[in-house]
Amino acid sequence: MALCTGANQTEPLSQNHDLVPDWTAHEVRTGTTIMAVEFDGGVVMGADSRTTTGAYIANRVTDKLTPIHDRIFCCRSGSAADTQAIADVVAYQLDLHSIVMNEPPQVKTAANLFRRFCYRYREELMAGIIVAGWDKRGGGQVFTVPIGGMLVRQPVAVGGSGSSYIYGFVDENFKPGMSKEECLCFTGKALALAMERDGSSGGVARLAAITEAGLERSVILGNQLPTFSSS
Amino acid sequence: MSLSYVLEPPASGFSFENSTRNAIVENSLGNGNVKTPSPLKTGTTIAGVVYKDGVVLGADTRATSSEVVADKMCAKIHYIAPNIYCCGAGTAADTEKTTEMLSSNLAIFSMNSGRNPRLVMAANILQDILFRHKGQIGAHLILGGVDCTGSHLYTVGPYGSMDKMPYLAMGSGDLAAMGILEDGFKLNMELADAKTLVRDAIHAGIMSDLGSGNNIDICVISRKGVDYIRPFQESQFNDKRQRKYKYKAGTTPVLSETIVPLKLDLVEETVQLMETA
């Protein structure tokens, strides 16, 4: 008796069922704030930790900074299922490529793999991804692959629903030539501001600094986030 | 003489031919009065907790068909592997079949490689199946178990999203259960505390959600083995049957009896030798 209703992906079976709450019909989204900054010698990436299904927070401690290779990470925003699947596919393709080339992969290769996948399946996917990392030839690089499958390299990239609230802050406070610690502080403040204003962003702020030497991950807990005069 | 039809072998995988038909029927033909029938859902509370030595999974036992309780003792904790069990919420058939498919896959893997399956592998296979079907399989699953890398708890959603957390609740009663888990969870709990916490979480789901009820099942998975306690706690509202529905032999009187022997003739006999090499 299990008929499927309609071809619309976001409205599956439980439309009129009182016993099952409405949010079970919604897809899991990372309504998000993600950010990445280049500095001389590497990149700093940051993300909030909230995953929502409708109005319910399905995971309040999500890790949206996903490793693609040893020195290349991606920040995921959009549909949780889509971005997890894309990251798995690209990680596999990049691993194979790196074995074939017999050297660590370049960040722009990873970014291009993401772009190819996101552009080809743009109608079916809902994914906004920031790819960042370090490689020997280009140093620290940040690429943004928003919904639709564009690819653009930027010194600082923000994404997700919370990014709208921090464009002004980022434009005003980003300076080329910052150090790693300054970048971490800048990213932490930007995420805190976005999490304060955007309902779909929150939880803890996860940061990662990627350099030639390796990877340093840190977490700023909710009560340790910087506070601002208006709050 | 040409055939008036062509015999087509059935295509593998899901057939979505009726989806567009259903959409048309619901939207235009019936003027909004016609609703396609909805499948049996387990309005459910399921929960899982990682404790010191392993994982405790819990579930209620009610399966509903709209407002009627279809099964009062439904088993929602499914066997996947000797060290892995999976709780399922959502469409009953989907959770049943998906977990069975996962179990078969892991059994074949175990036989091929001689290794015990790991939780990450189970979670990846589930994610793969559910993502490929784009949300049409209504299975919200909590996967838990112990393997050589430790104790793990995963949740996989119907669209293929996966989360790994130390405590989880899913199903229609999960808001109530999550409240109890958020309040009572501590890292490295003892077994007794973990069982009490999961029982309390499922109980909260049963009390606050109409789609969950009846008994509570608990499954404890640790390195030493699995303890599937079904039921862990019986519902205090269980009714006693007022009368028996079995009739005594002789209740229906036999008026007359006719026996017609069938005459069978041996038409053909063939012997096929078996290859016993």
pLDDT above 70: residue B4 = no
Nearest C-alpha of chain A: how many angstroms from B273? 45
- Tokens at A95, concatenated: 């691993």
CA separation (Å) from A173 to A166, A170, A178, A227? 10, 5, 11, 17
Q: Are strands A152-153 and A139-145 parallel, antiparallel or unpaired?
A: antiparallel
| Mean per-residue pLDDT, B108-115 | 93
Q: Does B172 contact chain A (CB < 8 Å)?
A: yes
Provide the strand spans (E) within A60-214.
Answer: 65-69, 72-79, 127-135, 139-145, 152-153, 156-159, 205-211
Average pLDDT, chain A: 89
| Mean per-residue pLDDT, A47-73 | 94
Q: Does A221 contact chain B (CB < 8 Å)?
A: no
Q: Does A49 contact chain B (CB < 8 Å)?
A: no
CB contact under 8 A, B19 and A61: no
CB contact under 8 A, A24 and B140: yes
CA separation (Å) from A112 to A38, A105, A146, B47, B219? 18, 12, 13, 40, 46
Contacts of residue B95 in chain A, CB cutoff 8 Å? none
Rounded Cα distance, A33 and A29, in Å: 12
Contacts of residue A14 in chain B, CB cutoff 8 Å? 38, 41, 138
Of the pLDDT bands very low, low, confident and very high (cuts 50, 70, 90), residue A64 is very high
CB contact under 8 A, B93 and A2: yes
Residues with Cβ within 8 Å of B237's Cβ and at least 6 positions away in sequence, in order, are none
Contacts of residue B165 in chain A, CB cutoff 8 Å? 59, 61
Rounded Cα distance, A65 and A209, in Å: 11
Q: Does A52 contact chain B (CB < 8 Å)?
A: no
Provide the strand spans (E) within B195-275.
Answer: 216-222, 225-233
Contact A32/A166 with Cβ under 8 angstroms? no
Residue of A168, A143, A173 lying closest to A155 (CA atoms): A143
Q: Does A27 contact chain B (CB < 8 Å)?
A: yes
B104: exposed, middle or buried (Cβ count in 10 Å: 0-12, 13-18, 19+): exposed
Q: Which of A194-198, B120-124, B209-213, B262-266 has the lowest mean pLDDT?
A: B209-213
Greatest alpha-carbon span in chain B: 78
**Residue with structure tokens 């370090």?**
A134
Over residues A12-51, the pLDDT tens digits come to 444 444 555 666 667 776 689 999 999 999 999 999 999 9
Q: Does B90 contact chain A (CB < 8 Å)?
A: yes
pLDDT above 80: residue A10 = no
Over residues B46-103, the pLDDT tens digits come to 999 999 999 999 999 998 887 788 888 889 999 999 999 999 998 889 999 999 999 9
> Quick one: what percent of chain B has pLDDT higher than 90?
62
A interface test, pick of B95, B140, B161 with most A CB neighbours within 10 Å: B161
pLDDT above 90: residue B270 = yes
Q: Which of A124-128, A185-189, B245-249 has the lowest mean pLDDT?
A: B245-249
> Closest to A84 (Cβ–Cβ): which among B19, B26, B161?
B161
Count of CB pairs separated by less than 8 Å, A with B: 108
Residue of B123, B199, B188, B107 lying closest to B155 (CA atoms): B123
CB contact under 8 A, B40 and A4: no
| Mean per-residue pLDDT, B162-172 | 95
Sheet holding A34-39, edge to edge: A156-159, A34-39, A42-47, A205-211, A215-220
Q: Is the ipTM of this complex over 0.95?
A: no
Element (H, E) at A47: strand A42-47
Residue B64 phi/psi, 5-degree rounding, is -110, 150
Nearest C-alpha of chain B: how many angstroms from A60? 10
Contact A26/A78 with Cβ under 8 angstroms? no
